[in-house]
């Protein structure tokens, strides 16, 4: 069970005037770091190939791709 408080995930909407931008950016960045998603958001972590060939030259789903897909849920 996670020990992170639930309120950390309550991110305020970005105000149309941008007055709360710094607070919003800090909260979004914090949540992305906590969830291990910052690399995806920044584009530094990219999706790896979905399939590879097993020893019998049959396509199989890669573990890296399954991990990537897990981020969607």
pLDDT digits (tens, 9 = 90+) for 44-63: 877 677 777 777 777 777 77
Interval 9-34 mean pLDDT: 89
Residue 52 has what pLDDT? Answer: 73
pTM of the full predicted structure?
0.58
Range(s) of the domain holding residue 23? 7-42
Residue 33 is assigned to a structural domain of this protein: yes
Residues 16-35 have a mean pLDDT of 90
Question: To 5 degrees, how large is the angle CA 47–CA 35–CA 38?
Answer: 55
Q: 23 with 37, same domain?
A: yes
Average pLDDT, the chain: 79
Taking alpha carbons only, the member of 10, 45, 34 closest to residue 24 is 10
Same domain, residue pair 11 and 38: yes
pLDDT at 36: 83
């Amino acid at each position: 069970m996670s020990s992170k408080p639930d309120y950390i995930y309550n991110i305020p909407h970005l105000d149309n005037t941008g007055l709360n931008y710094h607070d919003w950016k800090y909260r979004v960045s914090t949540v992305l770091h906590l969830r291990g998603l910052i690399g995806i958001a920044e584009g530094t972590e990219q999706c790896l190939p979905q399939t590879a060939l097993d020893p019998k030259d049959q396509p199989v789903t890669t573990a890296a791709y399954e991990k990537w897909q897990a981020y969607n849920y």
